[in-house]
Structure 1
Amino acid sequence: MTHRLRRAGAFAAVATLVLAAPALGPAAAAPFAAVAVLAAFVIEDGPVFELFARPGDHEDRRLNGLAGFTLAAAALGILTVDYPQAPPLPGTVFAAAVLTLAYGNLGREFVRDVTTDEFAVVAGFVTVGTVAGTLGQAFVAAAASEFAVAALPKYTFLAAVGSLIAALLRSILFGRDDPLVMVSVGFILWLFAALTGTVPARLVAVGLGLAVALGWVSYALDAASVPGMLTGVLLAAVSVVLGGYGWFAVLISFFSVGALATKYRYEEKEARGVAEENDGARGTGNVLGNASVALFTVVGYAVAVHLLDPGIPLADVAPTLLAFAFAGSVAAAMADTLSSEFGGLYDDPRLVTTFERVEPGTDGAVTWQGELAGLVGSALVGGIAALSMPLGDPILALAVVTGGGVIGMTVDSLLGATVEGSRLTNQTVNFLATLAGALAGSALAIPLA
């Protein structure tokens, strides 16, 4: 057993103190605060120090990693107190945030003892973190006399989302940033807990199954890096549970068709200098640039459905407009991807702002073949959305979503010709283009809402 595995097991044991929160009530943070004091000021050497020590702790003769981890847990514990000014952090969310990270790290190190395959290591983190987070929430609920079997799917969903977020953040941050990861997971799960009531077990099972299948296929086909795969899985899972199967169908159409378009005649595009980097494997920045607006809109849809007071102006039409915004953003991402991937294969592209001929791969350059491919891609998303999402009349919905996608694609080209590279990155341009598609889709849908 490696030192990293023993240390991860020790951190997981400390994290298990969160299960005492229901019994401690307002003092839920006390055990973690006590451990933080011991780690920072008392334990300077000996077997306990060696067990918990991370690189750099020996030089300071202080268990900085353990102190930071337990201080973050204590901070979340303080939020579980029921103050008059604000609603408390649910004890189940407190348990999920602490346990998914700690036991996820343990699962990662356990797998790493066997293989260095990056996908397997991440799968170990997410699997063990999800199981621990689910069981921890159930235990805390039972200890507080609030457990119900019908809540298990919700606990599983929250634990899976927490594990995916933690794994994603751990893949782009350092080990010493675990306190930031824990607090971030806690606040995000707090929001999701408020947005989800009783979740059908079948919806969670199918949603997580489809999301995991999407992640495995995208990684196996080199369509996404591990962080990109985690991002895609997270987006897919959230879309299914907060929106529904139709929302997932729209999202998966972009991921699958976009990945195939990227791989299509890749060597030829690489020779022309217009191919996606990293052999076409999309990373977190690329996935978020194209799909973060979709994530915000599906969360907004859940807020509108579950949290908005019906007496608020536009509360009755907000869900429909947000659904059109979701579809419009995905249509824009699809249109932009297909126009770039297919248009880059043809000669004589023209700059969208002046129509002068430019070299292939020039930002803001378009070809009629690429524009046609983008239109078809936008219409494909529009058709799927019209048939599977709550958008009203299918024909009108198809036209609105397609129009939103084309507008987003055009905005992408205009930004590429004017500010991309000098002022904005490609990921930022993608985000603004999908935002334009979302705004256009919802604006065009106002007469239909």
Structure 2
Amino acid sequence: MDRKLNALFLFIAVVVFITAANTTQQWNILLGVLLATLFSLAAFAFRGLSLDGMFSAIVIGTFVFGLGGWELAVVLLLFFLSSVVISDRSKRREENISQSVRRDGLQVWANGFWLVTFVVSATVFNAPIFLVGAIAVIATATADTWATELGSRAPDSTYLITTFKQVKPGTDGGVSIKGTTAALFASVMIAAVSVYVFSLDFSVFILIFGAAVLGCIIDSYLGALFQQNKRSVTLSIINIEIDFSNNLVNAISTGIGGLLAIISKLFLA
């Protein structure tokens, strides 16, 4: 699936490049390809990304660097670097968890699909409001990552969000004071930096922060409702059963976070 998304958005990038309004925009896209490739290669070299994850990050980074500008690139890099810093790799090694610590292509797209969609929408429709949604996507992803990484280090204080029954740290849908606090700090950080680099009003800080927190809560709720109970949803019209994997839950929650920010901005306008 991640390779199909890579191919789809590479095609979109070519179309946007060809139909760009001016050569400056085309040069920005080419520069975006270069910078995204350099940062993704570095992440791969330092074992932050798998090979598929690297290619997915290059595609996503091309749109962010090329169309979102250096401001959005700074916000995205802040998410990535902070996530790497707080990543609890030592704990994973101690517990002999077999899965790689590298992020694969699907994990990258789970947090990046709506980010790219909103960036492309902002460019195609010349509607900066979609950039607010893109920022909220990053804020939601950062809040969820911090909550997961730091909350899983809180033994004997994690509770299922739907029933408040005490569960093992790291359980899907589990919340803790430490994890929730981390999510709040992450939301504040992304919102504050975004408002500064984009020179936005304080009201935008509030709505990005609020959207990120709500998106993170929705992520936990969906995790408890579907992942914890191993439930799936069947679309009767086309007879397809959908399993709610962690990647799908992340994609839904970041999308909701972005949409909440856009809708809130429309009401504030």
Offset at 1:402? 1.1
Q: Between the two proteins, what is the percent identity of the paired residues?
A: 25
Q: Deviations over 1:312-366 (max 9, x none)?
A: xxxxxxx232111111111000000000001001112100111110112211001
Write the distance in 1 (CA, Å) between the matches of 2:29 and 2:68. Answer: 12
Is 1:443 the equivalent of 2:263? yes
Contact residue 47 and residue 102 of structure 2 kept, 8 A:
yes
Max Rg structure: 1
Residue 90 (structure 2) aligned to one of 263, 267, 272:
267
Q: Deviations over 1:107-157 (max 9, x none)?
A: xxxxxxxxxxxxxxxxxxxxxxxxxxxxxxxxxxxxxxxxxxxxxxxxxxx
| 3-state SS in 2 of match to 1:251 | helix
Aligned residues: CA RMSD: 2.5
Q: Deviations over 1:394-421 (max 9, x none)?
A: x222221111111110000000000124
Match of 2:54 in 1: 229
Residue 377 (structure 1) aligned to one of 162, 183, 186:
186
**Number of aligned positions between the proteins:** 253
Offset at 1:276? 9.3
Contact residue 269 and residue 345 of structure 1 kept, 8 A:
no
Offset at 1:448? 3.4
More strand as a share of residues:
2
The aligned amino acid for 1:246 is E
Cα 1:434–1:191 shift into 2, 3 Å: same
Q: Deviations over 1:161-219 (max 9, x none)?
A: xxxxxxx849x9xxxxxxxx6x9855652244335532267645653443223112211
After superposition, residues 64-83 of structure 1 pair within 5 angstroms as: none
Which protein has greater RCO, CA pairs closer than 8 Å, 6+ apart? 2
Cα 1:184–1:217 shift into 2, 3 Å: closer
Match of 1:414 in 2: 221
Match of 2:122 in 1: 301
Write the distance in 2 (CA, Å) between the matches of 1:433 and 1:294. Answer: 12
Q: Deviations over 1:234-289 (max 9, x none)?
A: 21121122121111111111122112222x3x22245468x7931x2000100000
Is 1:291 the equivalent of 2:112? yes
Match of 1:118 in 2: none
Match of 1:362 in 2: 171
Residue 396 (structure 1) aligned to one of 182, 203, 209:
203
The aligned amino acid for 1:328 is A
Contact residue 254 and residue 334 of structure 1 kept, 8 A:
yes
Residue 338 (structure 1) aligned to one of 142, 146, 153:
146
Is 1:248 the equivalent of 2:73? yes
TM-score for both structures, normalised by structure 2 = 0.85
Q: Structure 2: 5+ residue runs without aligned partners?
A: 233-243
Residue 327 (structure 1) aligned to one of 127, 135, 153:
135
